[in-house]
Amino acid sequence: MELPTELTNPFLPEELKVPGDGLIFIDSAGYVQLVNSTAEDIFGVQEAEAKNVKLGKVITNRSLLELSRKTTEGKNLQTNIEIGINKPSKKTLSVSITPLFDKKKNYVGQILLLRDITEKSRFERQLSSQNQLSTIGILASWVAHEVRNPLTAINVHLELLKEEVLNPSEGSREEISTIIQTIQSEVERLDNNVRGFLDFSKLPPLKREPTDLNQLIKSIEWFINSEAQQADVKVTTQFGEDLPRIPIDTNQLTLAIINLVKNSIQAMPSGGNLTITTCNNAESISLTISDEGEGIAPENMDKIFDFLFSTKPHGSGLGLPICKRIIKEHGAEISFESTIGKGSTFTISFPKGNGQ
């Protein structure tokens, strides 16, 4: 069995050289001309019976026939597409189809490359199920901590409030006022945690508009200024010159940056300096947020962007994952450096492109 001679195709996949893969060659009219032994086993056919027969008469799988049809019509490469077959036995295949051309660039047929990935897919499904169970466990822990604890505190203070109302004592008005404020605070915390959880799963599609990053940072600086002052944190901005406007969703990116800035402020319980810098680099536009806070412990370096991971007593573990998701959806990257006792620096890098 030999492939037609004098064929040229720079996109012929490397997998053709790998033994153990199924291989079928059909000519430009759709007739099968070659079926190797692996393909015979996969589809339960014999080359002698399949040769010079239309592919649709040899193989009945609709997904595979549709891929072949698209390759014939568009003369385009189809690579690593998963399909399932039920006959002669149930299997999962990875399919690559390569159109073939002669030296005059005339279409002369196509190569179907088939790899049995049934065991791999089964393992991935098992792994996915384990991950789902792990996620359910994490969610249960989150609910226990972020929902049950505030509810417990609210219940305790309602009992105290009931006691003060039924058996008033001297100073009851002040005591009742304090209890009500505590309940309101716990309700607000519970609402914020649940809202954050919902925000993570329901971020809307990006609505990009060309935006001046420096102006965006100025508006964020104004927004967080009072919180920074209360925490005795001095905010300094250093703006790069000649920054091109970048296509971003202002609302979502503002949410991400404010979250990073608030984390930096909270990392400096005794006050300190927070510096926000923008820079026009050769291949990217960068935004850095640096603080003089407590730093991130080495054992937590790989966890800070993990869903529901937090080192704060009342942290939801949603802030940084939301940040990373928003930044990734903008096609940007986020990285950080941190030293215990000296502080952390987070950097967002927006790749240049689209006329930037």
- Which pLDDT tens digit goes with each residue over 70-101? 888 887 777 778 888 888 888 888 888 888 88
So what's the pLDDT on residue 131? 52
Quickly state the pLDDT bin for 123 (edges 50, 70, 90): low
d(CA 217, CA 69): 52
Number of DSSP helices (H) and strands (E) in the chain, helices first:
10, 13
pLDDT for residue 7 is more than 50: no
pLDDT tens digits along 200-210: 555 667 889 99
Question: Which of residues 312 and 25 earns the better pLDDT score?
Answer: 25
- Identify whether 88 is preceded by a cis peptide bond (ω within 30 of 0): yes
- Residue 229: CA atoms inside 13 Å, Cβ hemisphere, count? 6
So what's the pLDDT on residue 118? 77
Report pTM.
0.47
210 near 247, Cβ under 8 Å?
A: yes
Q: Give the residue-averaged pLDDT of 54-72.
A: 89
pLDDT tens digits along 127-145: 555 555 555 555 555 555 5
In total, the chain counts a number of residues equal to: 356
Architecture label for domain 122-201: Orthogonal Bundle (1.10)
So what's the pLDDT on residue 156? 75
- Residue 197: CA atoms inside 13 Å, Cβ hemisphere, count? 17
Ranges 89-93, 124-128, 340-344, most confident: 340-344
What is the rounded average pLDDT for all residues in the chain?
A: 80
Quickly state the pLDDT bin for 272 (edges 50, 70, 90): very high
Helix (H, G, I), strand (E, B) or coil at 58: helix
Quickly state the pLDDT bin for 333 (edges 50, 70, 90): very high
Q: Taking the domains of the chain in order of start, what are their residue ranges?
A: 7-116, 122-201, 209-351
209-351 under CATH 3.30.565.10, yes or no: yes
d(CA 304, CA 259): 13
So what's the pLDDT on residue 215? 93
42 near 22, Cβ under 8 Å?
A: yes
d(CA 219, CA 228): 14
Looking at the DSSP bridge assignments, the partners of residue 278 are 287
Chain-centre distance of CA 233, in angstroms? 33
Q: Which CATH class is domain 7-116?
A: alpha beta
d(CA 30, CA 55): 6
pLDDT for residue 256 is more than 60: yes
Percent over 70 (pLDDT), the chain? 77
Ranges 118-122, 177-181, 221-225, most confident: 221-225
Q: Give the residue-averaged pLDDT of 8-20.
A: 44
